């Protein structure tokens, strides 16, 4: 079976070489030297002022919500992984769903202001598939209405917008380093904050709220360990090559697929993309389901990413109308995309789509 994604694994000897140091110093967790080195190396690679390595991308969002003291209503996107909504609910906030752009599939910045009420405290938006949100307009809205901005940048490691890392936008930017991501630490995530005081608070929160015997605030265990950091240290030097390999495969898909029968999300100008995913949108849900069934028969695993639209989650108590997200979520399918996906597999997948549509 060819899966929709495949984790890059470095040479085992490279990983073993790094984790040998763990046996030498017996420092397994609690912000050991490998964790700190990974944070510093990522900052240098991406041009960041700060970054905190945490246990996963969901905890990263929850820590950001808590540290920014976000309560009440938060305007967010219905087109994302469920962790985006769950993080708000888990922290006692009310998600208010704003429909998405039909071009980028990110939150539609032109529809945000109409949803702002006296109870609105923040915007939580996702750079969907690593495609940047309309960060300039969102910043203007946030400044005008005194709102905090968190970006769920789970898909956006290595993405640049207007010459700088996409992580530099918003009050806080979070990322996932899950095994399925372009850059991974097996399990993990990160937080980048515009205000260093906010990052200091998140640092306390993610480590039970204390440093040694000095207790400052409540906290949880959001730390990550040396073994996961070691995987990240192996994978980070490969980032440019992995993106280059994905770009070639993305270009091959685009050269074969019928342009008349499928559509793809657009990319804002001045974006340096990471080719994290290859989504295609079919003319109808019935055609998508037929394609997905045909793929499975040919041992290709595709994914309805994202489905359903999050405004339709069964455990929500209030309904929000998001017709574009509802529509796209029923017709979008992510095709296999990873660093060493064989060309003949891409050709076969593309031919299956062309024959169906």
Residue range 120-145, pLDDT digits in tens: 999 999 999 999 999 999 999 999 99
Domain end: 220, 237, 254, which one?
237
Look at residue 254 and tell me whether its pLDDT is greater than 90: yes
The confidence score (pLDDT) of residue 261 equals 83
Task: For residue 136, give its domain range.
Answer: 12-98+106-237
Is residue 2 included in any domain, yes or no? no
**Residue 311 belongs to domain with CATH number:** 3.90.1150.10
Same domain, 189 and 325: no
Same domain, 209 and 265: no
Residue range 237-246, pLDDT digits in tens: 999 999 999 9
Look at residue 147 and tell me whether its pLDDT is greater than 90: yes
Q: Which residue, among 187, 192, 273, 173, has the nearest Cα to 232 in the 3D structure?
A: 187
CA 345, 348, 350: angle at the middle one, nearest 5? 110
In this prediction, residue 259 has a pLDDT band, given cuts at 50, 70 and 90, of confident
Is residue 5 included in any domain, yes or no? no
Domain end: 181, 202, 237, which one?
237
Same domain, 144 and 38: yes
Same domain, 228 and 344: no
Is residue 75 included in any domain, yes or no? yes
Same domain, 136 and 230: yes
Same domain, 206 and 75: yes
Give the pLDDT mean for 254-280. 94
The confidence score (pLDDT) of residue 180 equals 96
Same domain, 318 and 263: yes
In this structure, are residues 219 and 210 in contact, taking their beta carbons and an 8 Å threshold? yes
**Residue 209 belongs to domain with CATH number:** 3.40.640.10
How far apart are alpha carbons 79 and 325 in whole angstroms? 6
Q: And the tokens for 192?
A: 């980048």
How far apart are alpha carbons 203 and 135 in whole angstroms? 26
Same domain, 144 and 290: no
Domain end: 181, 212, 237, which one?
237
Residue range 313-329, pLDDT digits in tens: 999 999 999 999 999 99
How far apart are alpha carbons 158 and 341 in whole angstroms? 20
Same domain, 256 and 204: no
Look at residue 357 and tell me whether its pLDDT is greater than 90: no
Same domain, 56 and 177: yes
Same domain, 266 and 229: no
Q: Into how many domains does the chain fold?
A: 2
């Amino acid at each position: 079976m060819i899966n929709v994604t495949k984790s890059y694994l470095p040479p085992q000897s490279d990983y073993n070489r790094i984790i040998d140091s763990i046996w030498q110093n017996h420092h397994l967790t609690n912000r050991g030297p490998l964790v700190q080195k990974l944070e510093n190396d990522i900052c240098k690679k991406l041009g960041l002022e700060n970054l905190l390595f945490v246990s996963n991308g969901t905890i990263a969002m929850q820590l950001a919500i808590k540290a920014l003291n976000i309560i009440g209503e938060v305007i967010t996107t219905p087109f994302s992984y469920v962790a985006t909504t769950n993080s708000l609910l888990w922290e006692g906030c009310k998600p208010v769903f704003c429909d998405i752009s039909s071009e980028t599939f990110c939150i539609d910045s032109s529809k945000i202001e109409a949803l702002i009420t006296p109870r609105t405290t923040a915007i939580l938006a996702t750079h969907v598939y690593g495609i940047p949100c309309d960060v300039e307009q969102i910043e203007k809205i946030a400044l005008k209405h005194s709102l905090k901005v968190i970006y769920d940048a789970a898909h956006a490691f290595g993405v640049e917008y207007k010459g700088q890392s996409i992580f530099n936008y918003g009050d806080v930017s979070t990322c996932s380093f899950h095994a399925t991501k372009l850059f991974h630490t097996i399990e993990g995530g990160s937080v980048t904050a515009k205000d260093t005081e906010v990052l200091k608070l998140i640092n306390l929160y993610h480590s039970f709220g204390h440093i040694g015997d000095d207790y400052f605030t409540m906290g949880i265990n959001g730390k990550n360990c040396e073994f996961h950091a070691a995987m990240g240290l192996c994978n980070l030097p490969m980032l440019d090559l992995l993106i280059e390999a994905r770009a070639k495969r993305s270009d091959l898909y685009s050269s074969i697929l019928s342009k008349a029968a499928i559509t793809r999300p657009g990319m804002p100008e001045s974006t340096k993309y990471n080719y994290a995913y290859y989504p295609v949108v079919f003319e109808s849900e019935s055609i998508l389901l037929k394609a997905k069934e045909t793929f499975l028969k040919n041992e290709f695993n595709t994914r309805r990413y994202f489905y359903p639209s999050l405004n339709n989650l069964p455990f929500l108590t209030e309904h929000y109308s998001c017709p574009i997200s509802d529509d796209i979520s029923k017709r979008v399918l992510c095709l296999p995309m990873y660093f060493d996906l064989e060309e003949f597999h891409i050709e076969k997948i593309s031919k299956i789509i062309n024959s169906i549509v």
